[in-house]
Amino acid sequence: MRILVVEDDPTLCEVIARTLRDAGHAVDVAADGNKADAMLALDPYDAVVLDLNLPGMDGLEVLSRARRRGVAAPVLVITARDTLDDRIRGLDAGSDDYLVKPFDLRELEARLRALLRRGTGAAARVEIGSVMLDTAARRVFVAGEPLVLPPREFALLEALMLQPGKVVSKSKLATQLSAWGDEPLASNALEVFVHRLRKKLEHAGLEIRTMRGMGYMIERPDG
């Protein structure tokens, strides 16, 4: 998943971004409202973590402008403003959830997972063949046994299993596997991750097919 983190505190922003990247997400960051507004106008995101007290443009204005442009990504507001009126204004502006500072990073991750499932309509658990992917716990089981995957391999498997039988483009996969600030993964680097994942799942009752010139698709071998 691709997530935008908007937070003007550099230490908190880096901690949140690193936590989400370690969980296998691609993360962009913005330190002020004007930059966040421009990024939301140009790029699609799966979710947004948004502080309200921002330089340049207030977070509520960033949120309102994004919703008026038709941005549908779920938005988790993080803020020190904890009065009922503040929460109501945030919800009225289009936020999907509200987290008051200080907060535990585990709660932020859990709330984001819930928003992402709601936004995609994805079930918490997805099964293909003998593979069960638990998107909430970020775990994979093969025939009931846990399979530990590095974050990028998990993100790759998740992207494919959430769209079984459908082609997921290389560019989309590369974006989801890349962290903000880095160059997108080269085609051969993505192929390395696919090869590693295939080896780990070769007896799991599913197949990752290469759709030449298009991307990859996951399905049962029997179709």
Separation of alpha carbons 198 and 167, rounded Å: 16
Separation of alpha carbons 179 and 131, rounded Å: 27
Range list of H helices, the chain: 10-22, 33-42, 59-68, 84-93, 105-120, 151-161, 170-177, 187-200
Angle, helix 151-161 to helix 170-177, in steps of 10 degrees: 140
Over range 78-89, report the average pLDDT: 76
Give yes or no for residue 187 having a pLDDT over 80. Answer: no
Domains and CATH numbers, the chain: 2-120 (3.40.50.2300), 125-219 (1.10.10.10)
What digits encode the pLDDT tens for the residues 139-171?
899 988 999 888 788 888 988 988 888 999 888
The model carries a pTM of 0.63
Phi and psi based region of residue 98 (left: phi greater than 0; alpha: psi -120 to 50; beta: remaining): beta
